[in-house]
Structure 1
Amino acid sequence: MTLKQRMLAYCATSFGFSVLSSVFGFYYVKVFLNYYKIEEGWFQFAQMLYLVWNTLNDPLFAYFQDKANFRLTKTRREAILYTAPLFSLSFILTWFPWAQGTWVTGLHLITALCLYDTFYTFIGLAHCCLFTEISSDPKIRLQLTQWSNVTALLSSCSVFICEFTSDSLRSFPAFQFTAVLLAIVSAIMMTYTGLYAHTEQDLKSMDDNSTKPETSPDMSVWRLTWQILSERNFISFVVVNFIQSFLGTFKSNFLAIICDELIPDDVVSLSLRKTFYGSLNITTSVIVIFGVPLVQNIGYSKTIRWSFIWKICSGLILFVLGRQYVVIMMMFVLLDSAFAGAARCLFNIPLADIADHDLEKYKRKHHMTSMVFGTNALIVKPAQSLCPMLTVAILNRYGYEVHKAGKLDTEAIDNLKDTMFLLLCGYSIVLGCIQLLSWSLYVLRPRLYKKDSI
């Protein structure tokens, strides 16, 4: 099997994984808050349990994938092959309500979040490790990023499709039917990866008829984790990634809620609004695909740094102008989401470089890729729970829960909209400054890109 064929197999999971994660992230908060009528107490409790499970499962699965020699974890591709159907089923479970506004709704959210995250983490770790282990050539890794974003461009249409088939969730049965179809397509694509995405180590093992190499017996999960956490570049990166995950969760979960309030119906038509929501993920992939030559010229480190500078400056400009400039606000949301998503698409490259550095520094026999990615997720994943908890608490503090029931007066509604606008700008400005400072401490430099291509 050629390198190109293995890269295409990797991209199949990029497509299937992005299909489900885009729809899940964009809709689950809105569905549970506005359609299932979950109480805030149950919502916060579910997010807290989700945070705990999110924190525990990443290092657990990472160590399991790197150390265990079961059939399920023998190779990265087999980890995806056997769990892909379960991932799709956990996705479908979210969109069929058990009840409305009771403790059963809270139990539904807890079950949906934990099951979804279990398979999301397991497949996501294997997929990230494939990125590092398919090739150690930095140019091929950059090409792999570009290729996977071509497939992500196609998969990002999943939100666009859901918006139009369900008329922005006004026809919930149509949304459910669309979600089931997307889950089936996703499972098929990830199964293809599971069959054909061989790494260099897989091919050697097939030739030698050997099993996964083992680390030395004294390498416990605690020692491996400490070795990774003691690396300065890793700490600098995970601080940046934590904030990026927090902002990404905010944009994914709350943009539809906030924009519905801040963008009047008489200014922006329903069809244009649906197109706007559907294009948020599409623009990210377009920027990555056509921005690869820029990354090759100036490097991913400078590219990521400039994305933070953009985030801070654009947030300041929008804050100064105010929320009355609806078109400018929509442009800010679109471009900010696109640039933030594009920067995050590059994050696998520094993580792969950190894994390479770890291999050389500790003279290991093979990459501890799952442990590097899993330890990163251990720190970063809680942001996916902290963001909804904090944001919902702030919005309800200013009357959002009362507003959903139509019992908020005009002045209170105006204060709520000001709060939403402040969150939109403030998150970008404040958190962008922290990211820029932390990223300045990242000193690991990648090898130069080769002139040859595959």
Structure 2
Amino acid sequence: MTVSRLHTDAAKVVLKKEKETKKRSFRDSEHFQPLMIGFLCFGFSTFFAVYILYYMKVFLDVYHITTGWIQVVQALFLVWNAINDPMMGYLQDIGCCGMTWIMDRRKVLLFCAPAMCISYMIFWFPWSTTNAMITGLHLLVGLFLFDTLVTLVGSAYCGILVEACETHSRRVRCLVYAELFGILGGLVIFPLNLYSNEAQNFGRFQLGAAVIALLGAASMSGGAYFLETKKEHELHEEIEMAEEPDAELSKKQDNSFRKALRVSWQIVREPRFIFMVIAQFLRHMRTVATGAFQMILINALVSRPGFMEEGSQALSAFYAFGGSLGSILFMCLWKPLALLGTHRMMLILLGVALTNVIIAFILGRSDPLAVIIYIGIESISASAGGYSFGMLLAGEVIDTDTKRHNRESPLSTLIFTLKALFTNPAEQLSPLIFIALLDRGGFSEHRKNCIREAPKLTANLGNTTLPEISTTAAAMLDLEQPVCTTLFEAMHSSMLYFTLFCTIGEIIIISTDYWYKKGILKEDDAKASPEKPTNEEELIAKNREV
């Protein structure tokens, strides 16, 4: 009996250990960390899907801000970005004023997500709808607060994502998780657009935006809560930033700051970093212009001629799935991306975007169906892995910098922050340039009469069938006032020329980076080859000794 009891007790202990192992297995698996990152990406997507699509339309059509004040605010915001981005990065690397939590990426994500939710809500509650100066101040404060928190949270998020996946294949897998959750986050546009009738019922829009803010904050805080605590490589990164690794970091902040400046200068001189920054800058220009002015362009060139009316289910679905289809496309390209590599796949997508622009130039703006097809393809190609390809390029830059300078640990936070310093100005320059292009056709003067208060042409189409709408609308557009015709032509040409310039520039930069990368790999192989004779000589010497 005693032996049987011992066996029974031993079996119970084994079963208990197996249960404990099973309980811990999922959290310790390679899928847990990407899943939590996916929740973070879901929260980001809900915020940005609403922000990028609606903020320009709301401030122009609901708050009645002038284009002049938009340009002033964007210019000031450009200056703030030059200060904000490196400041947030250095705070996370070397700390400040005894705030140790800001150096912990998990805590930054956990605590700052609710604050980012509050700053996001500032956009949707007007300070004034009659005083352009107060409305401009409203936009300025909202952009300053929201971008500061996005930079702080985003740099922590990017650092965790890259360092959790050290190889190219693991990074692709982790980014697929992020893209999947990003698709789900982007779908919030569909119910919001239907519920608010494309923000025309602004009270409903405010309620929907508040619900989305709470959902996004809960998703980000929950994902950050279950993320693993600070890893050893993050401590090495802080030591790498210190002038004397064995000394206490808090007593060496001055030396750390000088070291940070020296290391930053090493990074910004790296050719691969320069190529990455220029490519991401041009991609941001495309993405921001496509997102921020998408509603305005569609209302003028598509909805008013009678194709896909404002607030319709078809148009709401287009807004919701336009960006999400880019993420779906990236997920479908997972295996080709692993086989072809980042640069080749990016060049293929850029070739599609360039072809789309050329076809749109040939077809012109008279056919609303052709215009909506162009905007849809551009939206998909601009968002297809736009964030993920940037992460993959940044990962290669981090690997190159770590290897070239023999760093103990990758300085991912600093590199991401420096990248943001040079690429984030695209978010301000893109609206400035695009509005300047639109003003060639009198956008500021004639937008109210030609778009907002002009009767839709749908009422004059009678019982025209769907295939005939494009032809009928094209004939009616020729009868419009000359100023409206000039405005619509300027809007269509500005959309195409802007995309054409950014796409060609990105193709040139990505191709240059690809050939430069191949040159680095050849140099590494050449450096490694002399080691073989040395090893053979050592083997011969050992054999002689034997």
1:211 Cα deviation (Å)? Answer: 10
Is 1:387 aligned to 2:430, yes or no? yes
Quote the offset at 1:75 in angstroms: 2.2
1:130 aligns with 2:136: no
State the Cα distance separating 1:284 from its structure 2 match.
1.2
- Residue of structure 2 aligned with 1:98, choices 121, 124, 127: 127
Q: Specify the alignment match of 2:216 in structure 1.
A: 186
Asked if residue 248 in structure 1 is aligned to residue 291 in structure 2, the reply is: no
**How far does residue 271 in structure 1 lie from its aligned partner after superposition?**
2.8
Deviations 1:192-236 (A, max 9, x none): 23212227xx24489x9x995352325533222211111111111
- Aligned counterpart, 2:344: 302
2:445 to 402, 405, 412: 402
CA drift at 1:44: 1.4
The residue number in structure 2 matching 1:213 is 239
Q: How far, CA to CA, are the matches of 2:276 and 2:240 in structure 1?
A: 28
1:40 is aligned, of 47, 67, 73, to 67
Aligned pair partner of 1:429 in 500, 508, 521: 500
What CA deviation, in whole Å up to 9, does each residue of 1:353-403 have, x standing for no partner? 111211121112222111111111111111101111122233234222222
Secondary structure of the structure 1 residue equivalent to 2:333:
helix
- Tell me what 2:376 maps to: 334
Rounded Cα–Cα distance in structure 2 between residues aligned with 1:226 and 1:382: 20
Deviation at 1:433, TM superposition (A): 1.1
What is the CA–CA distance in structure 1 between the aligned matches of 2:268 and 2:194, rounded to whole Å? 45
The CA distance in 2 between the partners of 1:231 and 1:214, in whole Å, is 19
Equivalent of 2:488, from 406, 417, 420?
A: 417
Q: Look up the SS of the partner of 1:213 in the other structure.
A: helix
Cα-to-partner distance string for 1:137-176 (whole Å, 9 max, x where unaligned):
2211100111111100100112222211111111111110
1:346 is paired with a residue whose SS is: helix
3-state SS of paired residue (1:190)? helix
- What is the letter of the counterpart of residue 207 of structure 2? F
**SS, match of residue 366 in structure 1:** coil
| Structure 2 Cα separation of the partners of residues 221 and 97 of structure 1 | 41
Query: Are the equivalent residues in 1 in contact too, given 2:85–2:417 (CA < 8 A)?
Result: yes
Q: Deviation of residue 261 (structure 1)? A: 0.6
Tell me, in whole angstroms, the C-alpha distance in 2 between the residues paired with 1:343 and 1:381.
Answer: 18
How does 1:66-81 map onto structure 2 within 5 Å? 66-68=93-95, 70-81=99-110
- Of residues 509, 517, 521, the one that matches 1:438 is 509
| 1:98 aligned counterpart, secondary structure | coil
What is the distance in 2 between the residues matched to 1:220 and 1:406?
58
Contact 1:305 1:436 in 2 (8 A): yes
Alpha-carbon separation, structure 2, partners of 1:7 and 1:280: 25
Alpha carbons of structure 1 residues 205 and 339: separation in structure 2 relative to 1, 3 Å = closer
Where does residue 286 of structure 1 map in the other structure?
Answer: 328
**Aligned-pair identity (%):** 24
2:269 to 230, 250, 259: 230
RMSD of equivalent CA atoms: 2.1
Equivalent of 2:141 in 106, 111, 117: 111
- Quote the residue 2:250 is aligned against: none
C-alpha distance after superposition, 1:329-366 (max 9, x if no partner): 22221122112211413210110111121112111222
> Could you say which residue in structure 2 is the equivalent of 1:52?
79
User: Structure 1 residues 163 and 64, CA, compared in 2 at 3 Å: closer, same or farther?
Assistant: same
Question: What's the counterpart of residue 44 of structure 2?
Answer: 17
CA contact (8 A) 1:244 1:340 kept: yes
Query: Is contact 1:39-1:101 (8 Å) kept?
Result: no
Note the residue ranges of structure 1 that are not aligned, 5 or more in a row: 448-454
- 2:296 partner amino acid: I
Contact 1:213 1:366 in 2 (8 A): no
Q: What residue ranges of structure 2 are gaps of 5+ in the alignment?
A: 1-26, 244-254, 452-479, 522-546
Distance 1:142 1:375, change over 3 A: same
Q: Distance in 2 between matches of 1:282 and 1:84?
A: 23
Counterpart position of 2:183: 153
Contact 1:215 1:365 in 2 (8 A): no
How far apart, in 1, do the equivalents of 2:165 and 2:380 lie?
A: 28
Among candidates 313, 317, 323, match of residue 275 of structure 1 = 317
Structure having the higher Rg: 2
The farther-off stretch of 402-411 and 252-261 is: 402-411
Contact 2:441 2:491 survives alignment (8 Å)? no
Residue matched to 2:464: none
Q: How many residues align?
A: 443
3-state SS, counterpart of residue 517 of structure 2: coil
Is 2:278 the counterpart of 1:239?
Answer: yes
1:371 and 2:400 matched: no
Q: Paired residue for 2:389?
A: 346
Q: Deviations over 1:42-81 (max 9, x none)?
A: 2211111111112221111112212228332232111111
